[in-house]
Homo-oligomer: A and B are copies of this chain.
Amino acid sequence: MRYFPLVFLSEYRSQVFFLLRWLLLSTLIGLLAGTASAGFLAALAWATDWRELHPWIIWWLPAGGLLIGLMYHYLAGRAEKGNNLILDEIHQPQDTLPLRMVPLVLLGTVLTHLFGGSAGREGTAVQMGGTLADQLMRPLHLHRRERKLLLIAGVSAGFASIFGTPLAGAVFGLEVFLIGRLRYDAILPSFLAAISADYVTRWWGLYLPDIHGLGHTHYPHMVAPTASVLGLLSAAVAGMAFGLAGRAFASATHLVSGFYRKLIAYPPLRPVVGGAVVALLVWALGTTRYIGLGVPVIVESFSVQLPAYAFALKILLTALTLGASFKGGEVTPLFFVGATLGNALALLLPLPLPLLAGMGFVAVFAGAANTPLACTLMGLELFGAEGGLYIGLACVVSYLFSGHQGIYSAQIVGESKHGLWSRQTGKHLREL
């Protein structure tokens, strides 16, 4: 222990310097990522509204797919790997993330939603956040070892600002690249960037109140029952179902993607065929409730009993959309899958419907992304702390039951989830 005042002072000089440095850097990251998220949210709201008013556009989904396919095939280069490129750069830094990733993923996602694919938005926000943050390296002459912190902060900023959940965003950035381990070296950058990006996105909403879509969805703050043995056992059972759903989602997406890869050699044609399949399926279903982000159905699932098969349809449509190289993200569809599966489980389990919907909302995502702590925090941020016990338990059990699978194939197994799989430690999910 050091009691000597001079050492103490010099030590704190560098701490204060580190804090001020990251206050500045995180403000910059927040300005960039938060503004990008705000623009993206507005564009998404526009595309969704337009599609709902002109449902015939879904027949043009193959054409939209061709556009996205050509764009990515001829312009993207490394950017085609999307989220996984960012995770790979966090693990093994190679080269600055290409700035063209931002317009490509933004345009690709808006087109996907405009033409009626089933997709999300966090992938887009995370890619924009990470890429924009990475651009600060050169002009600011940052040190190479700071790049990892910068990328994690960018991921946190994108996630936090797109969902309006700063704490979950901060922990998501720390939690997502390794399964089963969390390292704290980037804890300050990721918290600061998440908070400032969320602030900037909200600021745009206040500054431009006439622009639709800039606000975040409000979910009901739920009143959970007091803990009971039966209730907690039910939460564990629900957690198992949520984990299996998360695994099914990840497997289905990888399966469809592998299938199209094998079947169609020329990449730009994959989303054309994939778009036709989705369009036919939507026509056969006779409803547009399962495409796009699906926010209205997510909100309904907290109050109305929905068809028990809703979650399966959303898995199918999202796997067919994203597996065919449409753009967006997995997380909002995972919210949909979880909320509707929780809704269906209310038929079988003695827990209130809104609580089960909220538990599923975050827990299926916890299983599919292997991020149980970020998802627990997200549950508390969105639904209030009252149901925290049930939410936390569902997220942890789901995490355990999704196995060594997930939506991010560049994740590395840092700590095996189970002794049986300890040989897989240190490997990328894509190698398993």
Contact = CB atoms under 8 A, between A and B. Distances in A.
A217 interface: no
A161 B185 CA distance: 30
Interface in A387-432: 388-389, 392-393, 396-397, 399-401, 403, 405, 415-420, 432
A184 interface: yes
Given A227-B202, A373-B373, A401 B15 contact: yes
A1 B251 contact: yes
A227 B1 CA distance: 38
A255 B1 CA distance: 10
A236 interface: yes
Nearest to A429: B1
B184 A183 contact: no
A384 B381 CA distance: 9
A417 B16 CA distance: 13
A166 interface: yes
A191 B418 contact: no
A253 B231 CA distance: 43
A270 interface: no
A11 interface: yes
A240 interface: yes
Interface residues of A, number: 66
A170 B392 contact: yes
Interface string A63-76: 00000000000000
Contact of A166 (B16, B389, B397, B403): B389
Contact of A182 (B182, B229, B254, B400): B182
Given A1-B432, A389-B166, A188 B420 contact: no
Interface in A234-249: 236, 240
Given A167-B376, A400-B188, A180 B180 contact: no
Given A199-B227, A227-B202, A396-B191, A418 B167 contact: no
Given A187-B399, A384-B384, A385-B384, A373 B202 contact: no
Given A181-B182, A380-B385, A403-B11, A191 B1 contact: no
A377, A385, A397, most chain B CB atoms within 10 A? A385
19 contacts: A3-B251, A11-B403, A14-B420, A18-B400, A19-B236, A19-B240, A19-B397, A166-B389, A181-B184, A182-B182, A184-B399, A184-B415, A188-B397, A191-B396, A195-B227, A195-B392, A376-B377, A380-B380, A384-B385
Given A182-B184, A187-B399, 4 more contacts: A171-B373, A180-B184, A182-B183, A199-B227
Interface of A: 1, 3, 11-12, 14-16, 18-19, 23, 145, 166-167, 170-171, 179-185, 187-188, 191-192, 195-196, 198-199, 202, 227, 229, 232-233, 236, 240, 251, 254-255, 372-373, 376-377, 380-381, 384-385, 388-389, 392-393, 396-397, 399-401, 403, 405, 415-420, 432
